[in-house]
Chain A
């Protein structure tokens, strides 16, 4: 009774924390079955859950500048390998966690519903366009958001380019769909499905292989980055938090992070304002790219302008990343809107943004989906995308100086 009285009258932050903790401790523990896929059982929780995840990601990415596009670009453009360890860590730690979760029986061996069942060579071409675009844009679909959240207008131009890239893809979709069918390589989307006896073992081999340079870098002190930026958080710490967050979302929602369809949906809503008749005719905006069967019924989502599964998961993630970065920039007193970049840089960012989203749509996902989730899941589509991405980053690194230093 004393505790309850105390609970009823919290004073200050510490009391509120104790109140919440006391309330939680009085609740019966949920079963494992109730935790897994709890967001699908309660779709109303999807929006706040993805918003919260986005807020955390935006804050952490702004503090650490953990930017996949930047890491690959700097390797080719400046022979700078400083930030490569956190990138390898994010893939290796993700693979380790997913392998463990699969063996523990808390993750299925089949890939998540967001990965489709067919692997097309278009993932390679999409990765290539994405790689070139992210170098020109100065960020990928996630990097652009956290930079935009801190007030950067180059990233605003890249963001607008991504919306235009989405609109272009909707126009060429029928031709791309035919090409996709013509370039299907296999109907077994992961190494584990293609090679049930050895796929998982190969995963462990890859984790061990990645551990060698990581341990070496750790012992040489090259895993940490010296930065004079205020409130800096080490990228390797952020890499580990992102991996854990991705697994948590996978367990709660049923699929790991993906975000690029949010751009397509925003583009579709904007196009709907201007040309509703045309939007209604575009086949791409009518289809469902995500169909998930749950005990409560079927949940669907697609790129079209409607409230659906994509709207309540990827859109809040996108908003959350921007708002999290905004909060971090405000807390550091670093938020400043503008100025506009020089004309050539602005044009490169806009065109790069369009290429990024065209590439993501061709490949069926972005680097958040394929590098953070797909490679650890041993997805063939992710491997093709990653190969294209590296080649594209190399091409982009050749191209960008010729554009902006003229």
Chain B
């Protein structure tokens, strides 16, 4: 129960990387952690400074059935990938 309330956050720093590498790296990470994210144990926090990744990553990840939140933090963007509530 506690895992679903406060999932462990795995941080993925892709600052300095450009598309399509950003999306490829994120999709690889999600595929590797698919079970943990689906069970609610884990959520993925991505840091990117590539503006286009704030479009491509959420779009692809939503199609896979995950919940995505994007927020601007300092000079970069933070994308959180979580299982659907």
Q: Footprint of B on A, CB under 8 Å?
A: 62, 65, 67, 70, 73-74, 77-78, 80, 82, 135, 138-139, 147, 150-155, 225-230, 232, 333-336, 338-342, 345, 349, 397, 400-401, 404-405
Enumerate B13-62 residues with CB–CB distance to A below 8 Å. 15-21, 23-25, 28, 49-52, 54-56, 58-60
How many Å from the CB of B83 to the closest CB on chain A? Answer: 20
| B3 close to chain A: CB less than 8 A | no
Instruction: Choose one: B15, B52, B54; the contact of A339 (CB below 8 Å).
Output: B15
Given A67-B52, A152-B49, A336-B76, also A228-B70 (CB < 8 A): yes
How many Å from the CB of B23 to the closest CB on chain A? Answer: 7
Instruction: Choose one: A229, A335, A338, A405; the contact of B51 (CB below 8 Å).
Output: A229
| Chain A: CB-nearest residue to B60 | A78
Q: Footprint of A on B, CB under 8 Å?
A: 15-21, 23-25, 28, 49-52, 54-56, 58-60, 70, 72, 74-77
Q: Which among A73, A338, A345 has the highest number of chain B CB atoms within 10 Å?
A: A345
28 A-B contacts, Cβ less than 8 Å apart?
A65-B52, A65-B55, A70-B19, A70-B52, A74-B19, A78-B56, A150-B49, A151-B49, A152-B50, A154-B21, A225-B55, A227-B54, A228-B54, A228-B70, A228-B72, A229-B54, A230-B72, A335-B75, A336-B75, A341-B17, A341-B21, A345-B17, A345-B21, A349-B18, A397-B20, A400-B21, A400-B24, A404-B24
Cα separation A131 to B43 with both chains bound (whole Å): 36
Cα separation A67 to B50 with both chains bound (whole Å): 13
How many Å from the CB of B47 to the closest CB on chain A? Answer: 11
Inter-subunit contact A405/B28 (CB<8 Å): yes
Inter-subunit contact A147/B70 (CB<8 Å): no
| Chain B: CB-nearest residue to A63 | B51
Chain A contacts for B58, CB-based, 8 A: 228
Q: Which among B16, B25, B74 has the highest number of chain A CB atoms within 10 Å?
A: B16
How many Å from the CB of B73 to the closest CB on chain A? Answer: 11
Inter-subunit contact A152/B18 (CB<8 Å): yes
Q: Which among B58, B59, B70, B77 has the highest number of chain A CB atoms within 10 Å?
A: B59
Inter-subunit contact B18/A154 (CB<8 Å): yes
Chain B contacts for A232, CB-based, 8 A: 51
Cα separation A370 to B78 with both chains bound (whole Å): 37
Instruction: Choose one: B15, B59, B72; the contact of A80 (CB below 8 Å).
Output: B59
Given A404-B24, A405-B24, also A339-B75 (CB < 8 A): no
Cα separation A345 to B16 with both chains bound (whole Å): 10
How many Å from the CB of B70 to the closest CB on chain A? Answer: 4
How many Å from the CB of B27 to the closest CB on chain A? Answer: 9
Inter-subunit contact B49/A138 (CB<8 Å): no
Instruction: Choose one: A335, A342, A400; the contact of B17 (CB below 8 Å).
Output: A342
Inter-subunit contact B72/A340 (CB<8 Å): no
| Chain A: CB-nearest residue to B19 | A70
Inter-subunit contact B56/A74 (CB<8 Å): yes
Cα separation A388 to B38 with both chains bound (whole Å): 42
How many Å from the CB of A334 to the closest CB on chain B? Answer: 5
Chain A contacts for B24, CB-based, 8 A: 400-401, 404-405
Instruction: Choose one: A78, A138, A335; the contact of B21 (CB below 8 Å).
Output: A138
Chain A contacts for B49, CB-based, 8 A: 150-152, 334, 336
Chain B contacts for A335, CB-based, 8 A: 75
Inter-subunit contact B19/A138 (CB<8 Å): yes
Chain B contacts for A74, CB-based, 8 A: 19-20, 56
